[in-house]
Each structure stands twice: as C-alpha cells, then as structure tokens.
Structure 1
Amino acid sequence: MSLDPLTALYKEASGSKVTTDIYLPAAPSEQRRYPVVIDIHGGAFMLGHSGMVSLPQVNDCLSRGWIVLVPNHRLCPGVNLLDGPMQDIRDLLSWIYEGHLDEYLSSQGSWRADLENVAAFGTSSGGHLALSLGFGVPKPVKAILSLYGAVNFTDPFWKKPLPHIAAKLPPNLEESFLNKVYEEKPVPTDSSVSLEGQTESGAAKGPNFSRPRDAFAFTQISRGTVMDAVYPASQSTDPKMDLIDPARNVSGDFPPTYIVHGMADTMVPIELSRELLRRLQEAGVRCGMTEVPDEEHTFAAMMKVGSRTWWLQREGFDFLESVIGKGPV
C-alpha cells in the first residue's frame, strides 16, 4: 500500500476546482470490490486541505482493504456552509455513486469500488461533514465516524467566546484586514494551515496571523461567532438551522454512527457529542461512543501510533469495519 495519493477532480464551482486525493490499498484484486471510506479534514470550515489528515489513520484504513478518498471542499466564508462545504462533500458522494470513481480507477489498475459499502469519517468540522452524508442526500453512506465533530449548533456554546483562543491572537487586528478573506476569488479549497496545527509539510506549527484567513478564522473562534461567519442565516430560532445540523436530522433510518471525542476538549465540548449520541439512541440508530481521557480538540493530528489514545480512537474504525467489512487484503 502506498501513501502517495492520486488526485482527481470531482467538481468545479464558479472557478473553484475541487479535488479529492485517492489512497489505494495493496495490489488490486480483479475478483473483489473494495469498500470506500471518505476521510474529511477539519478546520472550522474555514481552514485546512486534503493533505492535513492523519496519515496513520489513512494507513489503518488501507490495512483494512479500503479505498480512502480525502476530499477538498470550498472554504467558508466566501461561500456558506450549506452551499459550500456540505454541498461539495455531498457532490463527492454522488460522484462515487454515479460511477465516476470507478471510471477514474479503471485507468489506474484493477481496483473497483464497492458502492454498497461506502462510509465517511472526519475530524472536527470534517466530522460534521461526514455526518452530513447521513441526511439530505438521495442515498446516504452506510456508516459514519465522527471524531469530535461540530454538532448541536443551537447550543449556547456556539456563541460563547473562547479566551484561550483569543490569547493567541495579536492585538489590534483590523476588521478590514480580516475581511480580505471575502476578496479571495475563486473561493479557495485549501489553506496553508489547519485548525489541527499542520502545515503543508506536516509540521506541527501554529497559524500565521499575517495571513487574513488564519487571522479571520481564529478571530471568529475566539469571539464565539463561527456560525455567524460560516452560515450567516443562522439564528438559534431559525428553522434553516435544520438544514445544516446533523443533530436535528437524526431519525430511525440514519446510518450507523460512532463518535470519538476527547474528554478535555475545550473547542467542541464533549457534551455536544453526548447529546448527539442520546438522540441516536432514542431514534434506535446503531451507534456507540468512545470518550478519550485527557485529550483536547484535534488530538488525531498529534497522537502516537500504539498509544492509549491510538487504540481508543481505533474503536471507531473497528465500528466502521463491522458495518462495511474488510476489502481484499
């Protein structure tokens, strides 16, 4: 198996070319099809790109015989959450189901996708986007894993300032500087740093606040205004919130769902995931949750393979395997 991905264009939107990385397991089998897992990066819907996911997680997926797709999506705020990131990831799912992934793979060898066993997972905002493939689509994924995903957007937390994030910002950032993100045309599908802390080189470095996008995103997080920035129509009493919040779309036919969340998370509190779990249980959805002791937000980026955290978060991937099975290995 190789960690050098292929890259395919899956959509274009107003000049934005939206791609997905494709990781393929070991030598292709001509007799069997491979389950497909979509791995969605985090970044508060405003940061990150497909190169900023956990490669140990990707490698774990490949060892299970899965094809792994790591998509980019357009970044807010130049486009809103519903019309940008959510629509892009849903269009990727359609691209898979409509046979375009197999068309692409046919030029690469004998890999073929098992379209009856497509799952999704993601971290933080990527967890939300994975959950968004369980509703509002003609054919949902078969299983979902949310790692500290953003949910329950009517909870008071989403309007709560975070002083520990504000402390990282330089003083006197001007609004005119922050708002330069709205001038980025076409809407970008990648940023130079992610909320997880990785840069393009994979190094664990913090944001560069001389860049408007980094400064804008962390300013919104610090002010408790992320939802206003990424989905301006949102209000706690606005029914349009039903269109974007997975927690408000749980029903008995929601896909089997597993949650992994750090117990020390201060950026997406674990109580939000516990509430999602409660709703899944009440709806009779096959589900489960692993609470990881002592871990803050974004732990997937920095965890050590073989550590306690590694084995605990891996329970989520075991859950996916119990639904979609293994591929040829």
Structure 2
Amino acid sequence: MASPSNFRAVYKVVDKQEIDVDVYLPGSRASNNEAHPVIINIHGGAFMLGSSDMINKDQIQDCLSRGWIVLAPNHRLCPQVDLMDGPMRDCRDLLAWTYDGGLQEALASQTTTPYHLDLDHVFAFGTSSGGTLALSLGFGVPRPVAGIFDMYGPCNFSDSFWTSELHQIASKLPPGLTPEFINRVYAEDPVPIRGGVSLEGQAPGAPNFNDPRQAFAFTQIARGSVLKTIYPKGDWDVVDPLRNISASFPPTFIVHGTEDVMVPLSLSKDLHAMLVENGVKCGLQEVPGEGHTFAAKMAVRSRTWELQQNGFNFLQSLIN
C-alpha cells in the first residue's frame, strides 16, 4: 500500500449522504514514533458557500512542517439545515470521530506508515464562518479541542451590525435576482456539502450569479440577513461563541484585519475581552490594512503572513 500525502475520508453519513474530510499528512517526520497533533482547518463561506478545497494551501503546509496532521472537512451548508443542525453539528461530529478512533482507522486503511496521534493536542482553526465553527469546538462538546485559532470569525450575534445592510456587496448584485430564482437553494437534494465560490477569493473566481446558491448567499449578505437566514430560531445562547466563554474555554488566538467591513474588528475585540474577563489564555493580533478574507491572497513571508502566523505559533506553544 502506498503512503499518500493526502486522502479523503468519510467521517459521517446523514440520510445516506456521505460527508467527508480531506486528510493531509506530514512527510518524512512521520517515519519515527513521535505523536502528531491534529488541526481541524474549516473553510469560510458565510455558512452557505465554500468547500474543503477552498482553503489556503500555504497554511496547510505550515502546519505539516510542524508535524501536524491537517483535517479539512466539508460540512452541510445552510439554509436547508440551520447553523446548529448542519455546519456546527457536522464539525462537532468530526471532532468526536477524531477522538473516538475514526481518524486512526482511516489512516490505517490508507497508509503503511504508522501515524501516532497526539489526541491531547487536537486544535481547531478556521477563517470567517470557519472561525466561528472552530470556536464551536470549544463549547457544547464532551471534550473540547486543546486550542483554537480564529481568523475573523463572526461572533456577538446580537450586535446591531448583523442586521445592517452591506452596501458595498449590494452594489455588486445584478438586477433581476428574483425570490423564485434564489430560493431554489431550498430544493437542492441532498443538502450540499460543497458550494460554488469561496468567499475567500480563491478559485473558481468571482461569484457566478447564474448559480442560485451563490446569488442567494450574496443577497443575504447584502441585506444583513445572514444570521436570520441560517439560524431563524435566534437562540444566540446556543450558537454564539461569545456567549459561551467560561474559565474552561480552550486557549484561543484571534487574527483580524483592521479594515474588515464584512466582519468588523470590533466583534473580535468583544470576543477577546470576554476571554480575558474569564481568565482564558488568549491573544488578539490585528493585521494593519487588511480587509475580510485576506487569508486567501497573502503571500508567504509577507508582513501579513508573519502576523497571521502568530496564531499557529500560539497553538505550537501549547504543545511545547
């Protein structure tokens, strides 16, 4: 059996639908008996778009160079399932799959190289909505992750920002996007686990407004109705990371651009303040001049790259 550098595994099945995760393996360091930390790397996309393919490959390589195993999951996309029952539940089930031996079994079936897992150091990382999902692995689960790296993830869902229109997005919407057209997303069967374009700005490029899902998602963003759409129950105590911070919350590092208008820096500052108030080991790195989704376009060894790398260094410090 060959030893692949990456492979795809199924971590859960819902109504006969397979939900999968891309597993990336470190190289030559895997030949010894060291135990490998695991990091769950969750894509962004306003909980309605994106896929495991649409994450920064340089960040994956950074983690692999540290000897970590990287898990890049797909999850069911809103709005056919809500935030709790879809994306959040799937990511929490992936965490349980990792802890309960599912990852070890998948590794054994795919490679002859013996990978020893350091399950005391399972981390969560995500960008934008993926940051929120990473934070959700720190509460509401039997065994939280050991540390979290959140890049500009939405939080503080009762803030007035979340019902504000985003005119810079509205101006990009083409005319003629009727409710009948965009609401076709509700008829998609099964619930998609891969959605069109990435909000991180990666391939396949600009939004395709001929695709109902992409048109639907950008319309909700423009109207300030994302949260109402993805979690109509509005019970923020259940899903808002900020409302679930306690003294036992995992160590958390936040990275956020100073020019972000899609998820304002002030929201991450609110989260950081709550972490500090509860005595949680934490950090907040502001990245000057960067807006939302900068993770997709940053160049390795640039100043932006070095600043965001502090998040991975923070997780590394939890091991050392």
Task: Give 1:114-193 correspondences, 5 Å limit.
Answer: 114-193=118-197
Aligned to 1:10: 11
Please give the secondary structure, in 1, of the residue aligned with 2:31.
coil
Point out which structure has higher relative CO (alpha carbons under 8 A, 6+ apart): 1
The one-letter code matched in structure 2 to 1:54 is: N
Distance in 2, Cα, partners of 1:5 & 1:161: 41
2:39 and 2:70 in contact (8 A); partners too: yes
The one-letter code matched in structure 1 to 2:280 is: V
Task: Give 1:1-329 correspondences, 5 Å limit.
Answer: 5-27=6-28, 28-107=30-109, 108=111, 109-199=113-203, 205-234=205-234, 240-325=235-320
Distance in 2, Cα, partners of 1:3 & 1:243: 39
Q: Kindly state the Cα deviation for residue 198 of structure 1 after the two structures are TM-superposed.
A: 1.7
- Number of residue pairs the alignment of both structures matches: 315
Distance in 1, Cα, partners of 2:96 & 2:180: 38
Distance in 1, Cα, partners of 2:13 & 2:273: 38
Q: Kindly state the Cα deviation for residue 29 of structure 1 after the two structures are TM-superposed.
A: 3.2
- What's the RMSD between the two structures over aligned residues? 1.2
2:196 and 2:213 in contact (8 A); partners too: no
Aligned to 1:237: none
Provide Cα deviations, 1:46-105, integer angstroms capped at 9, x if missing partner: 000000000000000001110000000000001000000000000000000001101111
2:128 and 2:154 in contact (8 A); partners too: yes
Distance in 2, Cα, partners of 1:15 & 1:192: 22
Q: Kindly state the Cα deviation for residue 33 of structure 1 after the two structures are TM-superposed.
A: 1.3
Provide Cα deviations, 1:243-298, integer angstroms capped at 9, x if missing partner: 10000000000000000000000000000000000000000000001000000000
2:36 and 2:117 in contact (8 A); partners too: yes
Q: Which moved more, 1:179-188 or 1:26-35?
A: 26-35
| TM-score, scaled to structure 2 | 0.96
Please give the secondary structure, in 2, of the residue aligned with 1:74.
coil
Structure 1 gaps, min length 5: 235-239
Q: Percent identity?
A: 57
The one-letter code matched in structure 2 to 1:208 is: N
Please give the secondary structure, in 2, of the residue aligned with 1:106.
helix
Distance in 2, Cα, partners of 1:103 & 1:30: 19
Please give the secondary structure, in 2, of the residue aligned with 1:284.
coil
Structure 2 gaps, min length 5: none
Please give the secondary structure, in 1, of the residue aligned with 2:64.
helix
2:5 and 2:27 in contact (8 A); partners too: no
Provide Cα deviations, 1:112-160, integer angstroms capped at 9, x if missing partner: 2111110010000000000000000000000000000111100000000
The one-letter code matched in structure 1 to 2:293 is: T
Please give the secondary structure, in 2, of the residue aligned with 1:314.
helix
| TM-score, scaled to structure 1 | 0.94
